[in-house]
Amino acid sequence: MANRIREIDEKVKPVSLALRRINVEAVAREAGVPASTLSYDLDKVEAALPEVLSNRTPGPKPQKLAEEVKEASPPEERPAACPECNGKVTKNGTYWVLNWLLMLTMGWLGVQRVLIQRWRCKECGHELVSPERAQQAEARRAWWLQVNRLVGLSRFKLGLSVRRTQILIKFVYARQVSIGHVERLTQRVGRRAEAALARLSECRQAVACFLLYDETYPKMQKRAYSLGVAICEHGLIRSVRGITRKAKDIPAQLRDVVGAHFRPSYFLTDLDVLFNKYMKAAGLRLTHLRDLVHLIRQIVRLFDEAVRDVTLDVPKGLSVQERKKQRQLKRRLLRKRLRPLLELVFKAFSPGYESVCVLMLEGVVDQLRDPAYIIQTTSVQTLARRLQRFINKHGDSINLLLQLAVEEGTPTTTNSLESKNSIFKPFSRIAKFFSVPKCCQSFFAGVALMENFDVKTRGSNQGTSAMQRAGINLDDFGATDFFCAVGLPEPQISLVWITE
């Protein structure tokens, strides 16, 4: 019967029977292929027969509707003539492009496509750039610049990883950005931030007399190297450096920090004895002062060691448990006796006692040596001797540091430096994935530059940034904020196109 609709089983059965009657050995020998390979291919053909022999609607396949809403641009006027050869310009088809202008202004709400008319010269083939195409091209460049700024914010301020940064961008703009782009941008911004920090000492600025320096140990490659941080009394981070060889890297860092407009007079650190040696190796002749907090900690440590090193003279027949009880009792009695002296030490370093601080410490030593006040045990005598040695070593430094604090309001501690170190440590989860210390150093330079421009919203420095407190001349520096300093300025786009 003509034009009869055959069922799929009726089609498959004769074709399958024909395939089975093929002499596989003979055909494989003639084709020069293994018989097993040909048999395997025929089995696949037989399995696909229902799909191959099924009826299909004639004509091309219908195109799937795009997920984005497409918007046809209004008809454009035909250009008068070709700017190259003054020939006739004709239409050369249309194409859909992503509406970058709408996505830049509205984020994920504005994802759609717009139709662009192509114009081409009939004589020379030159393609003319239509106004709509120019708008979208400029909006595309502005969108990428804004995305790069978002990457810089998430990496150097929020401390997000590469993949979380990628998720953030996709959430805001509903468009994917590659991980490689985020990583390359991070390294590029870090290198530019490192160069920007190096320019700080060459800019005109307010007078800064103190150079504060310390090492921090974020978890980078199992602490194979540390991070040297240098700031001034205004809280401005002037340098960060990966320290792999202390004897070489720390003097080099101190040498690079000092410049034409930054000439400190005092070097404030903790009690590390090598910092003075590194300062001299860098060619700096600064007055080395020690942090009061570390000095107080050292005195407290001397008192704790005196209590811990208590000796006990008891008969030999006493049991071990009784010996421990008597030693603990003696320690409690000695700690109780030393507590007023330790409180006197804290009082000496408190505000209002700057002029008599060292005298009060010497009075503590005299009381420790007075048999009428405390029993002269071996540990007490050792404490008095060590405390006197401590006063002889740091007494002049303490007097000078407290005098400067009273007269000029300079810092007496490195608390501001410690707070900067606490900022770096959360970023170690990102930094430890850098393979070499140089890249890690550049990353922390970006974090430091972001912190310098950060305007505090609370505390004693509320409403100001470290760059403002240090009086850095931004004209000499060449940037007004972090993003301009690393080559990521605000995107510039004509508002006329948006309001049309």
Give the pLDDT confidence of 166-188 residue by residue, as tens digits: 999 999 888 889 999 999 999 99
Q: What is the 3-state secondary structure (H, E, C) of 52-96?
A: HCCCCCCCCCCCCCCCCEEECCCCCCCCCCCCCCCCCEEEEEEEE
The residue ranking higher by pLDDT, 39 or 107, is 39
Q: What is the pTM of this model?
A: 0.74
> What pLDDT is attached to residue 223?
53
Section 386-411 average pLDDT:
93
Per this entry, what is the length of the chain? 500
What is the token pair recorded at 13? 């059965």
> What pLDDT is attached to residue 68?
47
Catalogue the long-range contacts made by 349-353 (C-beta closer than 8 Å, 24 or more residues apart).
349/292, 349/295, 349/296
Quick check: 432 and 219 in contact, CB under 8 A? yes
* 69 — pLDDT class (breaks 50, 70, 90): very low
Give the pLDDT confidence of 204-255 residue by residue, as tens digits: 999 999 999 998 877 655 556 788 999 999 999 999 998 888 899 999 999 9
Quick check: 485 and 449 in contact, CB under 8 A? yes
The alpha carbon dihedral of 103, 106, 109, 115 has a sign of negative
Give the pLDDT confidence of 305-339 residue by residue, as tens digits: 999 988 877 666 677 788 888 888 888 998 999 99
Per-residue CA distances from 332 to 90, 310, 340 (Å): 100, 10, 14
Rounded to whole angstroms, the Cα distance separating 432 from 223 reads: 9
Using CA atoms in the order 189, 195, 201, 203, what is the torsion angle rounded to 10 degrees?
Answer: -80
Residue 350: Cβ-neighbour burial (10 angstroms; 0-12, 13-18, 19+): exposed
Residue 253 phi, psi dihedral angles, 5° rounding: -65, -45
> What pLDDT is attached to residue 3?
60
Q: How many CA atoms lie within 13 A of 80 on its CB side?
A: 2
Q: State the angle between helix axes of 274-281 and 246-257 in degrees (0 to 180), rounded to the nearest 10.
A: 60
Rounded to whole angstroms, the Cα distance separating 162 from 159 reads: 10
**Domains plus CATH for the chain?**
8-52 (no CATH), 68-177 (no CATH), 192-290+413-485 (3.30.420.10), 292-408 (no CATH)
Section 472-481 average pLDDT:
92
DSSP code, position 318: S
DSSP code, position 259: -
Rounded to whole angstroms, the Cα distance separating 262 from 298 reads: 32
> What pLDDT is attached to residue 500?
53
User: Which residue type does 453 have?
Assistant: F
Rounded to whole angstroms, the Cα distance separating 291 from 267 reads: 10
Estimate to the nearest angstrom the gap between the alpha carbon of 17 and the chain centroid: 69
Rounded to whole angstroms, the Cα distance separating 287 from 421 reads: 24
DSSP code, position 426: G
Give the pLDDT confidence of 434-471 residue by residue, as tens digits: 667 778 888 999 999 999 999 998 888 899 999 999 99
Is residue 278 classed as helix, strand or coil in its secondary structure?
helix
What is the token pair recorded at 107? 């984020």
What is the token pair recorded at 340? 């007023």
Place of tokens 């301020």: 157
* 73 — pLDDT class (breaks 50, 70, 90): low
Give the pLDDT confidence of 1-54 residue by residue, as tens digits: 556 677 788 888 888 888 888 888 888 888 888 888 888 888 888 888 888 878
The alpha carbon dihedral of 14, 20, 22, 27 has a sign of positive
Rounded to whole angstroms, the Cα distance separating 393 from 399 reads: 12
Average pLDDT over the chain, rounded to whole?
Answer: 85
Is residue 14 classed as helix, strand or coil in its secondary structure?
helix
Q: How many CA atoms lie within 13 A of 153 on its CB side?
A: 10
**Residue in 192, 190, 170 with CA at minimum distance from that of residue 179:** 170
**pLDDT over 90 percentage in the chain:** 46
